[in-house]
Amino acid sequence: MASDSHLNLAAFPTDLGWAALATKDSFVEQIAFAYPSAAAALAAVDVDVACGEDAGKDWRWLIDRLQDFSTGQPVDFSDVPLAIEHLTAFRRRVIEHARAIPYGATRSYGELAALAGSPRAARAVGSTMATNRFSIVVPCHRVTNSDGTPGAYGGPNGAALKRRLLDMEQRAVATFGRPRRIAKRGRKKPPPR
């Protein structure tokens, strides 16, 4: 069956660099974060840019939250609708448990595997995090090695960016305490098309 849905794209600046957002229908398809330019952020999105429309208008609420996050503010992304239906059941569970890691906290790959119901699948969790298409909204930067070291990170500047994100969150928690209620700017969901 043919779909009348369109891919929507937006590139926008944050305090950590440029980000790109790809959406389709009422779901986020991909987020690229902390790139040196708008062109680099858009190039990191695994879609055909030529077919894109501007996602900035309908998804301004999410862009605002990502920009707030980049300044060190605790932001809740739990209501962001993600296009994960194509993932295996295990990967969907990993994504959902990763999304539940509190701001400023970390979980090891093994802990996340256990939470997802497969305690011996730490490497599979690592693979899921390495292919995470929803940077920041699925906070793979909060998933660390069992010894607490950051481990790999697929974004620009790799592990250095991961460490920067973790440090930023931990400083905010040390300064203000763990947030009881995290800010949600804008509408919860995009308008129906």
- Tell me the catalytic residues: 140
Closest CA to 120 of 90, 140, 84: 90
Whether 36 and 44 have beta carbons less than 8 Å apart is answered as no
Helix (H, G, I), strand (E, B) or coil at 23: strand
As a whole number of angstroms, the distance between CA 135 and CA 141 comes to: 8
Count of positions (residues) in the chain: 193
**In angstroms, how far is CA 97 from the centroid of its own chain?**
13
As a whole number of angstroms, the distance between CA 178 and CA 84 comes to: 29
